[in-house]
């Protein structure tokens, strides 16, 4: 419940409404019990007073202790009538349990046959007749019990309906927040546009703060990208000059220590130029916007990069194999995918011994580039994705940006990059469609 704002509101609200619903039923039950009490008392009063009016009881012998009452009818008011001589003139079947002497007037309770009765006795001084009317006190409880048994199902349905209405009301109220959440989830990290989802008044401040935060992030990222691009361009000119001077120095000396130092300078300059090119590539990729991609034939793109790197492949005596089983449907940018394949082929050539085998495999679910080189330990497979990360002991020149560029291009094409170290050795870089980004 701590993790869900919806439940944190729904559950206490539902419990509070349920408590109020039950309390209302209890209050209505108590009021009904009191009302029933007053109704029965009124019936007893009317019955007793009616029975004391002048009447020829002698001509109604069949009603004396009448047998017409149903033994199972517990809800009839019992009665008995007597005269001044305390002779019973008229009574129902159970009237004999009621008092037939004028000891007290009004309401009172008696016990008869192990049962409590509530009785009302009335004396008519004009006619000299007295009458008692009463009923077992358990009648009220039985009536209320029958009412509860009859209405508990509607009450329960009403409570469930109240819970459903509460749930739907909260769900409807949370819809703007849910839409905002979905917009955030679907937002590409590189597309820092302001949120446009309409939200209620209570969420406008949150939306405004999110938009302000996005604007700050976008401004900061733009500054970093411009700095990277500007720094890279500014460095290329002096580096080119240094390399030219190193080449001149190498030509002027035939051999010896100076020539070796000149060669090291040129190698260092080449490495720095490669790093700058990678940084520029990353900077351009970070600024890349979604565009209308075209259908791509991946084997053709891979073969084109293979041809461009033919001199390196021949120098390493590498073998390149294509295994295309089924087409992998992809729409993308051919130039970007070419950069991705180029980086992967160069990595395989650079970090593998001569004679390495590079394989491009493709089916309808994924495509991959693998080699049979030394591979990578399992514990650093995920770390090589990080920018500028290079495993310890790595002797080959590199910038640590190659796989970062590959993964960035894959993300722009809604692909997920998976790194594997097969049991037979080497490194396999696979790409599958990223459903979460599609």
> What secondary structure letter does DSSP report for 252?
H
Element at 45 (helix H, strand E): helix 5-51
200 vs 202: CA distance, rounded Å: 6
Taking residues 348-368, what's their average pLDDT? 88
- Which tokens is 158 given? 């009403």
Is residue 325 predicted with pLDDT exceeding 70? yes
- The mean per-residue pLDDT over the stretch 161-188 comes to 79
Residue 205: pLDDT over 50:
yes
Would the pLDDT of 61 be above 60? Answer: no
Write out pLDDT tens, residues 246-291. Answer: 677 667 666 666 666 766 676 666 667 666 666 666 666 655 554 5
Gap between the Cα atoms of 404 and 321, Å rounded: 25
pLDDT at 343: 85
DSSP secondary structure string, 271-283? HHHHHHHHHHHHH
Is it the case that residue 121 has pLDDT exceeding 50? Answer: yes
Choose the weakest-confidence range: 44-58, 198-212, 249-263, 364-378. 249-263
For the entire predicted model, the pTM comes to 0.47
Mean pLDDT of 5-22: 81
> What crossing angle do the helices spanning 138-186 and 201-252 adopt, rounded to 10°?
30
User: Of 71, 119, 75, which is closest to residue 97 (Cα–Cα)?
Assistant: 119
Mean pLDDT within 317-324: 88
What are 394's two structure tokens? Answer: 């790595």
pLDDT of 130 above 50: yes
The reported pLDDT for the residue numbered 431 is: 92
Percent of residues, the chain, with pLDDT higher than 90: 1
- State the number of CA atoms in the 13 A half-sphere of 197 facing the CB: 21
Instruction: Classify strands 357-362 and 428-433 as parallel, antiparallel or unpaired.
Output: unpaired
pLDDT band at 172 (very low <50, low <70, confident <90, very high): confident
Supply 307's token pair.
Answer: 């041809």
Residue the block writes with tokens 């937002």: 187
pLDDT, average across residues 34-60: 80
What's the start-to-end Cα distance of the chain, in Å? Answer: 31
Q: Which of 116-120, 168-172, 256-260 has the lowest mean pLDDT?
A: 256-260
C-alpha distance from residue 391 to each of 267, 350, 373, 381 (Å) = 21, 14, 15, 10
Model confidence over 231-246: pLDDT tens digits? 666 666 676 777 776 6
- pLDDT higher than threshold 50 for residue 334: yes
- Asked whether the predicted pLDDT for residue 62 surpasses 50, the reply is no
User: Comparing 52 with 29, which gets the higher pLDDT?
Assistant: 52
pLDDT at 68: 45
Question: Which of residues 74 and 85 earns the better pLDDT score?
Answer: 85
Residue 99 has pLDDT above 50, yes or no: yes
Pairing verdict, β 129-136 and 78-82: antiparallel
Q: State phi, psi for 396 to the nearest 5 degrees.
A: -70, 145
The pLDDT score that the predictor gives to residue 64 is 44
CB 229 within 8 A of CB 280: yes
Q: Rounded distance, CA 150 to CA 199, Å?
A: 47
Mean pLDDT, residues 102-117: 79
pLDDT at 63: 44
**Residue 427, φ and ψ in degrees, nearest 5:** -130, 135
Q: What is the mean pLDDT of the chain?
A: 77
Distances (CA, A) of 202 to 166, 176, 212, 311: 20, 10, 17, 64
Q: How far apart are CA 274 and CA 141, in angstroms?
A: 94
Q: What is the 3-state secondary structure (H, E, C) of 76-99?
A: CCEEEEECCCCCEEEECCCHHHCC
Q: How confident is the model at residue 191 (pLDDT cuts 50, 70, 90)?
A: low
Per residue in 380-406, pLDDT tens? 877 777 776 666 656 665 566 778 888
């Amino acid at each position: 419940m701590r993790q869900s704002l919806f439940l944190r509101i729904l559950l206490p609200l539902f419990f509070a409404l349920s408590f109020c619903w039950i309390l209302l039923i209890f209050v209505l039950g108590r009021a009904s019990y009191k009302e029933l009490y007053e109704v029965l008392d009124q019936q007893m009063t009317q019955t007793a007073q009616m029975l004391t009016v002048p009447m020829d009881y002698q001509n109604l012998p069949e009603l004396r202790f009448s047998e017409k009452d149903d033994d199972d009818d517990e809800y009839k008011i019992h009665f008995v009538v007597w005269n001044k001589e305390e002779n019973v003139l008229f009574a129902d079947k159970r009237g004999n349990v009621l008092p037939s002497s004028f000891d007290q007037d009004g309401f009172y309770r008696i016990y008869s046959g192990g049962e409590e009765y509530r009785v009302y006795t009335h004396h008519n001084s004009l006619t000299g007749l007295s009458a008692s009317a009463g009923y077992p006190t358990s009648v009220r409880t039985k009536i209320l019990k029958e009412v509860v048994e009859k209405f508990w199902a509607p009450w329960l349905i009403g409570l469930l309906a109240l819970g459903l209405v509460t749930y739907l009301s909260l769900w409807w109220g949370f819809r703007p927040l849910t839409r905002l959440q979905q917009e955030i989830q679907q937002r590409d990290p590189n597309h820092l546009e302001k949120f446009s989802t309409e939200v209620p008044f209570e969420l406008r401040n949150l939306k405004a703060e999110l938009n302000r935060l996005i604007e700050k992030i976008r401004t900061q990222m733009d500054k970093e990208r411009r700095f990277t691009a500007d720094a890279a361009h500014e460095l290329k000119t002096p580096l080119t000059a240094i390399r030219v001077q190193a080449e001149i120095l190498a030509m002027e000396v035939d051999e010896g220590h100076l020539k070796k130092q000149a060669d090291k300078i040129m190698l260092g300059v080449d490495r720095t130029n490669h790093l700058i090119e990678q940084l520029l590539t990353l900077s351009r990729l970070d600024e890349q916007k979604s565009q209308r991609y075209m259908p791509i034939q991946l084997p053709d793109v891979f073969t084109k990069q293979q041809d461009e790197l033919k001199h390196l492949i021949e120098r390493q005596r590498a073998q390149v194999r294509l295994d295309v089983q089924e087409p992998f449907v992809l729409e993308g940018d051919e130039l970007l995918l070419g950069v991705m394949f180029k980086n992967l082929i160069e990595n395989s050539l650079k970090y593998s011994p001569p004679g390495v085998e590079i394989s491009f495999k493709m089916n309808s679910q994924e495509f991959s580039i693998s080699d049979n080189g030394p591979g990578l330990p399992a514990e650093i497979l995920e770390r090589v994705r990080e920018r500028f990360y290079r495993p310890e002991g790595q002797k080959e020149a590199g910038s640590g940006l190659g796989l970062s560029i590959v993964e960035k291009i894959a993300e722009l094409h809604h692909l997920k990059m998976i790194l594997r170290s097969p049991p037979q050795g080497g490194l396999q870089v696979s790409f599958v469609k990223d459903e979460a980004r599609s």
